Amino acid sequence: MEPKQEHKLISHADILLIVGILILAVAGLFAWKKLETPGAYVDIMIDGDSVKTLRLDQDASYEVKQQVGVNTVVVQDGSVTVQDADCPDKICEKHRAISQTGETIICLPHKLVVEIKE
Ligand SMILES: [Zn+2]
């Protein structure tokens, strides 16, 4: 008697199931990765116009040069600060680092707004 096909160790249905589980696992991994890396960025605006965006998950610094003066926006370890500002009040420079969506650092003399967005 010939061996019956359905007595194979792994049937086609099993392979489909395994492939399905693998796809789900990979999709889950991607979803998890997405959660892990912050999607937030910082928007640098002058007088309401966005001039530059920087990702929060990459350390960077950006010099905002205007006729009225200069502010350097620094991203470090997911937090944003304004450094080396030459505005008269230096309020932006003294502002604590921001890292949460919706937080802002404002430099009134330079009409500069640094806001964390998603
Ligand atoms: Zn300022």
pLDDT in tens, 58-69: 999 999 999 999
Whether residue 54 sits in one domain with residue 107:
yes
pLDDT, tens digit, 9 for 90 and up, residues 11-33: 889 999 999 999 999 999 888 76
Whether residue 47 sits in one domain with residue 29:
no
CA of 15 relative to ligand 1 center, distance in Å: 63
Whether residue 20 sits in one domain with residue 77:
no
Whether residue 97 sits in one domain with residue 47:
yes
Whether residue 46 sits in one domain with residue 30:
no
CA of 29 relative to ligand 1 center, distance in Å: 43
Distances from the Cα of 52 to the Cαs of 33, 36, 48, 95, in angstroms? 26, 24, 12, 20
Whether residue 93 sits in one domain with residue 56:
yes
Q: d(Cα 72, Cα 76) in Å, to the nearest integer?
A: 12
What is the average pLDDT score of the chain? 90
Taking residues 39-46, report their average pLDDT.
90
CA of 8 relative to ligand 1 center, distance in Å: 74
Q: Residue 99 has what pLDDT?
A: 93
- 73: domain range? 41-117
Per the structure, how many domains does the chain have?
Answer: 2
- Residue 1's pLDDT band, with cuts at 50, 70 and 90, is low
Distances from the Cα of 72 to the Cαs of 11, 20, 26, 31, 90, in angstroms? 63, 50, 40, 34, 12
